[in-house]
Amino acid sequence: MVEFSVIVGSTGVLLLLLAFLLNLFKILMQDTKTYAILNIVGAGLSCYASVLIDYVPFVVLEGTWALVAFIGLIRLFKVPDEN
């Protein structure tokens, strides 16, 4: 039986790689909400999996990745000032 942490981590990495692949082939641009959400969810799941296996370096890496992607998403919701 596959461990829960492996399923969670694999799903997170799959989402991160999907965002990267779609961006690489210019199907999904970096300045879109979908790209940011894929990164937030993917990094969040990867971070959680790292917590489950108690691997602190990846908790820091993936947690930072999720936070930066979240900040990017917030910036996408801001309405530009057109004055």
* 16 close to 28: Cβ distance less than 8 angstroms: no
pLDDT of 1 reads: 85
Q: Specify if 33 maps to a domain.
A: yes
| Token code pair at residue 53 | 């296996």
Answer yes or no: is 50 within a domain.
yes
For the chain, what is the domain count?
A: 1
Question: Is 70 exceeded by the pLDDT of residue 81?
Answer: no
**d(C-alpha 81, C-alpha 66), whole Å:** 27
The verdict on residue 83 lying in a domain is: no
Tens digits of residue pLDDT in 26-75: 999 999 999 999 999 999 999 999 999 999 999 999 999 999 999 999 99
Summarize the confidence of residues 6-15 as an average pLDDT.
Answer: 98
Give residue 16's domain range: 4-77
pLDDT given at position 83: 53
Tell me the pLDDT band of 10, cut-offs 50, 70 and 90: very high
Give the residue with greater pLDDT, 79 vs 62.
Answer: 62
